[in-house]
Amino acid sequence: MFVGPKGGYVRGHFTMKRAVKRTLNTQQARVTRKIDMAINNRMK
């Protein structure tokens, strides 16, 4: 199964389910970091 651009093809039955789950888990942290970065840039 093809997952994302980096690494490309990945073997495995539940690969997509795991990838979606991982994305949902890490999404909040990514958004928070992005917002923090924007705030820090504006403060400078």
- For the stretch 1-44, pLDDT in tens is 555 666 667 777 787 788 888 888 888 888 999 999 999 999 97
pLDDT (0 to 100) of residue 7: 66
Q: Are 30 and 15 in contact (CB under 8 A)?
A: no
pLDDT (0 to 100) of residue 4: 63
Indicate the pTM of the whole model: 0.47
Domain that holds residue 18: 1-44
**Long-range pairs for 11-18: beta carbons < 8 A, 24 or more residues apart:** none
Q: How many domains is the chain partitioned into structurally?
A: 1
31: its two tokens: 């958004």
pLDDT (0 to 100) of residue 20: 86
pLDDT (0 to 100) of residue 38: 94
